[in-house]
Structure formats: C-alpha cells, structure tokens
Amino acid sequence: MDPASGFLLDHILAIQRPTGVLLRAPVAGSSRGITLRWSVQGAAMSRLVDDAWLPSPPDSWTATVELLRGEQVLASQSREASPPRLRAAATHGGALIGFRGATPQVTVDDLPATCAPQPAHQGLEVCFVEATRGSLVRFGDGVVTAGALPTFEALPLEETPDECGHPAFPAPVAGGILGCSHPGQLDRHRRRPGGPRRAVRWGDEAIAPTRASVLHGGSALAVAQGRSLGTWTPDDAQISLARALPLAAAPAADGGWFALLMPDRMQALPHGSNRRVQPPAIPAPGRGIPRVAGGRVAWAEPTRLMLGDLRGGRTGPFVEGCRHTVLSPGWITFSVGEETVAEGLVGQLGSSFAVDSAFSGARATFDDLVAVPARTGDLVQTALLHPPSGLIVARLGTTEAWVEPRGSDADGLVVRRWAKGATGELARHPAPLRVLEEDGSLGFGAATQAGGHGGGHALLAPGEQAEGTIQVASPARLATWRPDGPSDGWVEVEALGTVTRIELAGSGWLDLAALPRNTEARVRFVAAPRGEGLAVDALMLDRR
Amino acid sequence: MSESTPMWARWVAGAWTVALLLAVWPTSGLGAALLHGWLVTTGPPLAAAVSLLLAAWGFGAWSTPVLLARAPSDPGSRLVIDTAFGLVILQVGAVLGTIPGLLGWGVAVLGLGWIAAVARWVRHRPAPPVAPSAWTVVAATVAAGLLFPALFSVGAPPTGADELQYHVRMPLDLVQYGLATHPHDPVSAFPRGLHVLHGLGLGLHPDLGRPLALLFGLGGVLAGHRIAVRLGGTLAGGFALVALCGAASWLRMTPVISTDVPLALFLGAALLLLLDAIEDEAALDVRFALALGLLGGAAFSIKYTAAVYFAPVWMVAGVLALRARRFPVAAALVASAGLPILFAAPWMGANITAGVHALYPFKGIATDPAFRFNQTENYGAGGGLMAWLRTPWDLFVLGTEFDRRHYLGRLGMWPVFAIPGVLLAGRRKAVMAVFAVATLGFMLWAGPLRRVAYLLPLWPVIAALCGVGFAELTRGRGQWLPALVFSVAVVVAAAEVAPAWTAGLADSAVASGRADRNTTRDSRAESSAAWAWVRENTPPGSTVATAFVWEVIAPEHRVLWACAEECPTVRLTLAEAGSGAEVARVLRELGARWIVVKKQPFLRSGYPDMTDEQFALGYERPLQVLDELLSLHATEEHRSGLYGVYALDAPRQKAAPAP
C-alpha cells in the first residue's frame, strides 16, 4: 500500500458514546511515517493513539485534524459538533424518542400523547410513545410513523435452516426463499409460502452456496462460479464470462458493482462491464465475503477492516480488530469486542450499541435497520439496531426460542429460530408498513439526517434530481412524506414500463402509486429548474 | 502363449517394448513431461518407502532361518515372509525406541537394515530367478495395468478422511510427543503399529506414507498370488492376480494410507507359513507357533481387527497340530495366541496411564448405547441375523461402491463364480485349510465390522481362492478354455475398476508436479478453508479443539477431540460437561483457544433402534451444550460452509468502560 497522502473519508468520523464523543480520521494508504495532530476548540480532549476523545463535550465544539509527515501538513479536516436534536425510531407499538433535558411534547395523529420514560441509552434520555401502526407520532420538529418495521409475530417457512449446509442459505431472494435440494446445491426457489419450489440453474449447473451472496434487501443473488459472474433472480440471470475467478470468498454485489476478493488482490467491476477496478491495496489473507455498497468496498483482513472508494480510489485501513461488517451507502456497521458500532459514511453522527454481536456472522439489513445477533446471559436474540437514531428498536427471541437473522427482502425480515441445540426453523417477520429513509436503502441526496423516523430532510437545489429503486414483493401503496420546506418540483414513478409524474403539494403522506406484486419501481425526485428547490423526505410502502 | 516360451523370445519382446517407449515418449510431449515430473515428484517418497521395506527385508532375511525350522523354498513366499518378519523387528524396535523418545533417530535403525540387506545379498546371493510362466507374465501385466493409477495416487497428498484425521498426524506426534496417549485426542488411543513404521521413515522423506501403503498393498498382492500358486498352480495364480486387482475397493485403498491393507501382508505371510506346515509336517513345530504369534502380534499392533482374521489361522493350525498329535505344538499355538497382547501392551499401557479405556479412546464405551461407536451408521440398516446370513449375496452380487447397506466399497462378483471350483478343489488339505480361514474370517467380519475396508486384509486370500476356483473349473480342458475365461475375467476386471481407475488418473497432475500439492489437498478436503484460517491466524504449536471434525490439516498444531463417524467421544465429552460454560472451562484448562466445528445435525429417524431417552442423552444434549459453547462463550472467527472456526472467549469479567 502506498504511503498516506490524505484521509480516507471527506469528514471526521464521530461516534456518540454514553460518556462523550470519539473522533476518528482514517487515512488513505499506509500510515507508516504518518502522524495525526488533533486540536479541539470548545471542549476538552484526550488522545487515544490516533483518535481523539471528547469527554462530556458541550453542545458546541470544533475539532481539526492534520495529517503530518514530519512537520509537513499533507491534509486537514474539521468537524463541528452535531446540533443537539431529538432522535426517534419506530417500534412495533409506537415510537422511541431520545432526548436531552425535558421530556418533549408528543402528539399521535395530532392528539396529545404521553411519552413513558425508558432506560437511558448512550447518554440520551429515552421515552416510549404508544401508537397504532401507521399513526403519525410528532415530537419537536420531527415525525415518526409508528409500526414501520417487521412485526413481532413470525410466520414459519417450509425451508429448513440447514438444508444447504451453509449458514447463509436458505435465504430470502427476490420475494421468495432460495434453498437447496441437497447440501451444497442452491437450486430451489419458492416464490410464496405454500407455493411450488421451482428449479434454479446457473448455466447448466446448480449454484454452490459458497459461490453466492445475496444483495442488500434480498433483491437478487450475486454468483461467481467457474468462469461466470453475474446476478440471478427468478425472472432473469445476468451472466457474463470472466477470464478467471479464483475467488477466496463468495462475490459481493450491490446495484452497481461486483466485489471480488481473490487470494492476492481485491477487484471490483461495474455490472455489465469487464473493466475491473483494483483498489490500491494488496489484501492480506482475508476472512468472510467482502461488502460493497454506494461505490465503496470493504473487506476484512485478519486484524483490520479495509475500506476502498471505487470512484475516487482512496483505500485504507478503516478500523482495527472488528468483525462482521455491514456496509450500506450511508453506514458501516461492525462488531468490536462486546459492542456493535455504526459509523456514518456521509458525515452523520455514529453510534455504539451495547450489543455483543461479534460471536456470529449472521447479519441482515432491512431499510434503515440492521439486524444482528445479540447474546445476553444464556440467551441469543436478534437485535434491531437503528443507526440514524442510535436506538435499539426491538429484540426478537426468548430463552426457549433463540433467534438470529438470516436475511431480508421487501416483505420483511427472515430469521432462524431454534431451541438450543436443535436445527430449528426459518420464519418471516413480515413488514406491512415500510418507511424508507434517506439514510436507508435509497440514499436520496445523501442527506445527513434521517427523515420520517425522526430527523430532517434533504433539500434538492433547483434542477437537481435524486432517485432510487424500490423492490416490492407483495402489492403495496407507495407514498411520500411531504416535509415542511420548498416544494418546487415533482416526483416521477417508473414501474412496469410506465412513468407517472406526480406534482407535489401539501404536507404529510402523499400517495404516489399502487404497485403490484414483484415490481421494481424507480422513484425520481426532480427539483424544478426555477424556484426554491425541493425538500425530499421519506417514502412509505403500505400493504396493510 | 505357453509356459515353454523360449527365453530369447521374451528378451526380444522386452527389448522391442523398451525401444518403442524410448522412441515414443520423448516425442509425445506430455508423456515425457509426465514421466520426468513423476520421477522428480513421486520418485523420492517412493524410493524412501522402498528403502524402508528394503531395510525390513534385510532384518527379515537374517531372522527367518533363526525363526523357522525350515525356510520356505518358494522364493516369492520367502520374500513375503522375510519382509513380514523384518517389519515385525522394525516395529518392535520402533515402539521400544519411541518410549524414550528416540523415534526421530529411526533412520539409523534403517541404516542397520540396509547393511543387513546388503550383507545378506552378498553372503547368500540368490540363484538366478526362474523364468516366470507365461500365465504369470500375462496376469502380472494385467494386474499392473489394473493398478496403474495407483502410481499416481501415491504421489497425491493424503486427503482421505482417516489420512487427514490421524494417519498423517500420528507419526509426527509419535516423534514429537512419544508414545503417550493424550486423553483429549481420541485417536492417540488407537494402536499405532503402522504409524511407528511411518515415523521410522520420516527422516527419509516426509511424504512416504502413501508410497509405503502401496508397497504394503503390493506385498499383499504377492502373498495372495503365492498362496494361489501353491494351492492351484500358475493358472490359479494368474486368475488370482486378476481377481485381486480387479476389485475397485482394492485399487482405491491400496495407495491410500490405512491400517487395513497392510494387514494383508502379515496375514498372507502367516498363511504361507501355514501352507509350509501343511506341505511338510516338520515345519509344524513350536517355532512355527512363535512365528505365527509374531506376525499376528505385529498385525494386532497395527489394528485390533487383525484378531478377526488371525484367530481362524490359529484355529486351523491348532486343528492341524491336534490331528497330527503334536500336542506341544498345539500348546505352543495357544501360548502364541497371547503374543499379540504383548504387542498391544505399549498402547494399552499408554491408555491406562492417560486414564482412558485400555482398548478405546474413552471410558464408559459399553455403559450406554447412546455413546457406542457406529451405533447405526455401520450396522443398523443391515444388522441382524438375516443380514449376516445374506452378507455374501449382498456384498459380492449386489454391492456397489458407497452402498446404502453401508459396505462402502465394491469387491466384485469373483467369489460367486469361484465357489464351485473351490468346492471341487476343497478335497485337498491345503485348499480346505485356506478356505476355512477365509470363511471363518469372512463370517467374523460380517458380524461386527461389515465394511469393505475392514475386509481388505482378507481379500488377497479370498482372491487366491477365486483363482484356485477358476483354475479348477478350466483345468484339463485344453488351452483355449482357460484363455477364454481369462480374457473374460480381464474384461470384467477392467469394468469393475473403471471408475476407480479413472479417478486415480485424476492424480496424475499432482503426482507429476504439474499441480501444487497443498492446493490439491485444499481443493479436495471440505474443511480446508477452516484449517487454512487456523494455520494462518494462530501460532504454530498452539492447541486447537475440534467438534465433529474428521479431517485435521494443521501439522504444527496440537489438535484435541478429532473424531470419526458420529463422534461418540465428542458427544460424551459434551454431555458429561453438561453446559457450554463447563466445556469452555475445560478447554481453557487444556490450553485450547480455538475450536473448529462442523455443523452436524443428527436426525432422530436415523437411529430407529434407540429409545428417545438414549437419543436425547447421546445426541440432543451434546448439541445443546455445543450450541451454548459456541453462542455464549465463543466468537465466530471464520465460516466456510459447514465448518466454522471459533475463538474461545476470555472468562467473563466486568469490562472497563470503553470510550
């Protein structure tokens, strides 16, 4: 790896902890001969090797870090304190709200409501507002849609958890469950519970579970087998031939890139292209499959996690001693020791969760939630973490039925639940109501705060556009949240080959379209060339 | 071709073949490269194995005249017997040398053997060999063709489950740790007579295991051939070679390190001695009894199942002695039957010292059926009296490789065709004696063992009887009928071994150095990714525990709890611990920080003979404890398919508040 000449990210990473704020500035390239010089105005600071620690910082501070080789300043970055704000997240029966100081005034569907105190979390006071699914919970200047996450109740699936002889399969893919006729042969797909299992082929052969991984949100399967590389869905298999694929792990993919971890190098290539990008780092023998999302790739080496930017070429060690990374366009989540950490990749304030999840590699993401296994005492549960708010919104599992995540798709979260020592069963926690955030699966405008789950919104400048793709498994109504703010623009919804333009007006939830089963919809927010711009916030899929 | 083919004709044919090879190979490209690569890659370990057997022969050639009242006149028999006696001497010496930890000096012992071999050759230069009969030449050529892929398989890395579990590891452990049994390494409680012989030769070449296995197998082939020749003449010998090598399981197992095939050499030597005693009653003396005890002891020291095949030899020899009214010899035979206990004493002593069962890796094996080895996998589906009676038909007629009746191999239909002939020839005393040994051995095998691999020590004997049978059926019916039957037999043999033959050819790349040995191993072993992680991420010499893992690919690590089949040792250990926390404590005490685990579901329906309580105790409870261990007291470091590597968590203590 080349010597560092700059930082890995465009901003200083900040993590909110119960007793203060931890600042980090990973460098791009080798840190040999490099030192970091931190300075903070408005708060006390102590150094932690290369990081800076601000114990109980006030509401206002500014931190600066300089990258030095000798006395030469190669680069510098600054970060200001994130403005104190309320944090909120939907739960099954209402919403959790985090705050400092006095308990906020709360309404549910515009009627005053009580916010019941809960145990404090990460230095925040927390209270719970009871509300039915779909109710609007308003607090301060934020709003949350209650019940917008997978239900507590789970529906058993017919597939057995170990039929593939691989811990990641069977798994939800493209609205159904992809499983195996025999261990090691990923060759059966069932679109809906009770339906027939259809044969799956990759060229002329079954897919090996060790050569495949599921894309975020379960939209498709990435496969690299023999000399063929591509994605698979029940309706389509995009296969291209490669020169050679001596992979050290299964391939990873998101909507735009494949990430290929080989014994001696990491490569990425855009879908439909043979032009391979090679981050400027020679991977040490890694472990686990790489992660790719939002133009970034992450892979684990024995002692550290590497992060590379496929567009800018910046690559370097991101963090030491972590396990089980989950990468999304806005967040990177991993386990360190007995805690789970989520760091914002677009400047958001990160969070640490007191969740011991390093023991197992089972992970799933659902919209802006990350599902991780969590062990406490003699129990293994699945904890649903909400990185934008830093709150743990639910724990699934009991002493009799341990639960770990298996995957997710547009219809909800799939878990394995089992009695200790038994194989157990797969079950789906359906999500009748989904609220998609800027920081979640869509990444509209790379907003730095969450919207409908308790934060602000993104603002598109005149002429600017933001778009994202939504997978719909079951029929659903698509709506968008109209925040207060400029509304000079419109929304285009493209589904089943038809583009519908919807003018934006008013506030609150605004219906956009009715989407049929197994649809891929493209939603494009367009700010008018003239005007004040367009405030963009959450989307909702309602199939109640 | 007749037996009177002039010698000059053979020389011409041989010269023509060599000339053709010299002309074709250099121009064939691949052939020349293959030969050169094979010589460079597989040649050295094969040469090491040959030199180990040469040393054995050196010791044996001097000891045979001392041990036997009358040395066999048949040179082939003499070679087998000399080598077997030499191996007995080497084995005893190696075991005694291992006790003070001197096995690493084994090469010095081999050096003495080479000196003995050279001295024997100089002192008693053998007479020029008698030209073999035409039948023998043709049959040997066919046998060589049938076994040809074995030359490639011996150059491949050991990737059989048992090879990876302990056949590769045990010689190294014997050199490093001595004779001691490790109470948490169950396979170290097995008899290791073969592994000390490997250990002797490790100084010559570290990869001599498979070549040595092949030479043991060829010794068995030679023994089987000589038995057939002595029972039914050269025609019987020719048929025996075809039948012996025309069995898929023999071809698959001969180049693979195992403790079964080597027993064939010792059993064959014992039967050749028995034939001597039948032919000349003067040979049926006390020294014969002692020799039988030594051969049986060495075999018993390799694998306790040797008793199944040697017991009939003793029984038949005893009957012979009693019928000849040689009561002192009969008494000596009874006494010599106890000799194998002496050979096994080092292993049993090490076990008792380590606090485990004298014969088996753990205590309590017989106390609860829930933890009996191979409770159902081997015997359940085909167990019982009717299955026992039906075994010959099931095995020889219906049997397929990887058979659902758990024979796990195929030997072909040879005995079915040969039985009438054997019955015709059975009037002869020698044939009757060998037939009795084979039948009794087979019946004993069909009871508790019932796996083709375990039958292989007896296969050369069975094949010899097949040869006798074929010869008996065709003898005296002119030249054409034997030739026709022989030709059909060759075609059948080729068809029998075809899958194993082509599978063996797949080893040609690695055997000739065109494929990397470690890469080949890793591509064949399903646990290779997990073990690669262990090798790359844990310090050499550290202790790694396993659970339900058969393969071990960590030569520089101390491995605990490696197991086979349904892993009763692991299940018992987990059940006795009672909780994941207790297992974690035990492992920490043993210095283990990492655990390699294979996910191993046990289906209730697979154990129909077990009660629910037994299944809960023997299978469900251990998995619950393992689940607790891995979920609550360990952290997953690596995952590859069914295999995971976990790091044992440090004992829970109040964590300091982290910034």
A323–B639 CB contact, under 8 Å: no
Spatial distance between the Cα atoms of A265 and A246, rounded to a whole number of angstroms: 10
Please provide residue A528's backbone torsions phi and psi, each rounded to the nearest 5 degrees.
Answer: -60, 145
pLDDT, residue B34, reads 81
Spatial distance between the Cα atoms of A409 and A371, rounded to a whole number of angstroms: 13
**CB neighbour burial string for B412-443, b if at least 16 within 10 angstroms, e if fewer:** bbbbebbbebbeebbebebbebbbbbbebbbe
Contacts of B642 in chain A (CB under 8 A): 165-166, 183
Q: Which domains does chain B have, with CATH numbers?
A: 19-127+136-505 (no CATH), 525-648 (3.40.50)
pLDDT, residue A303, reads 82
For residue B374, what pLDDT band results from cuts at 50, 70 and 90?
low
The 10s digit of each residue's pLDDT in B599-609 is: 887 888 777 77
For residue B530, what pLDDT band results from cuts at 50, 70 and 90?
very high
Q: What torsion do the CA atoms of B352, B358, B362, B368 make, to the nearest 10 degrees? A: -130
The 10s digit of each residue's pLDDT in A316-334 is: 999 988 888 999 888 899 9
Contacts of B632 in chain A (CB under 8 A): 359, 375, 378, 380
Q: Is the pLDDT of residue B26 over 70?
A: no
Spatial distance between the Cα atoms of B529 and A249, rounded to a whole number of angstroms: 10
Is A195 part of the contact surface with chain B (CB cutoff 8 Å)? Answer: no
**Where are the CATH 2.60.40.10 domain residues in chain A?**
6-80
Q: Is the pLDDT of residue B2 over 50?
A: no
Q: Is the pLDDT of residue B649 over 60?
A: yes
Q: Is the ipTM of this complex over 0.95?
A: no
Q: Is the pLDDT of residue B377 over 70?
A: no
- Chain B residue with the nearest C-alpha to that of A322: B637
B639–A421 CB contact, under 8 Å: no
| CATH class of segment(s) A457-542 | mainly beta
The 10s digit of each residue's pLDDT in B78-96 is: 999 999 999 999 999 999 9
Give the residue-averaged pLDDT of B645-650: 90
Please provide residue B580's backbone torsions phi and psi, each rounded to the nearest 5 degrees.
Answer: -60, -35
Regarding the domain delimited by A6-80, which CATH topology (the fold level of the hierarchy) does it fall under?
Immunoglobulin-like (2.60.40)
Spatial distance between the Cα atoms of A93 and B69, rounded to a whole number of angstroms: 95
- Chain A residue with the nearest C-alpha to that of B575: A421
Cα angle for residues B181, B187, B190 (degrees, 5° grid): 75
Instruction: Give the CB-side neighbour count of residue B470, counting CA atoms within 13 A.
Output: 34
Cis previous bond, B45, omega within 30: no
Give the pairing of strands A20-24 and A51-55. Answer: antiparallel
**Where are the CATH 2.60.120.260 domain residues in chain A?**
457-542
| Complete edge-to-edge strand list for the sheet that includes strand A106-108 | A111-113, A106-108, A136-139, A142-145
DSSP string, B271-286: HHHHHHHHH-GGG-SH
Helix (H, G, I), strand (E, B) or coil at B181: coil
Please provide residue B334's backbone torsions phi and psi, each rounded to the nearest 5 degrees.
Answer: -60, -40
pLDDT, residue B658, reads 44
Contacts of A420 in chain B (CB under 8 A): 624, 627-628
Spatial distance between the Cα atoms of A248 and A235, rounded to a whole number of angstroms: 29
Is A400 part of the contact surface with chain B (CB cutoff 8 Å)? Answer: no
Chain B contacts in chain A segment 417-436 (CB below 8 A):
420-423
Spatial distance between the Cα atoms of A105 and A141, rounded to a whole number of angstroms: 10
Of B537, B625, B632, Cβ closest to residue A302: B537
pLDDT, residue A487, reads 85
Q: Which of A200-209, B48-57, B101-110, B280-289 has the highest mean pLDDT?
A: B48-57
What's the burial of A336, exposed, middle or buried (CB within 10 Å: 0-12/13-18/19+)?
middle
Taking 50 as the pLDDT cut, the residues of chain A under it are 439-454
- Chain B residue with the nearest C-alpha to that of A163: B601
pLDDT, residue A148, reads 85
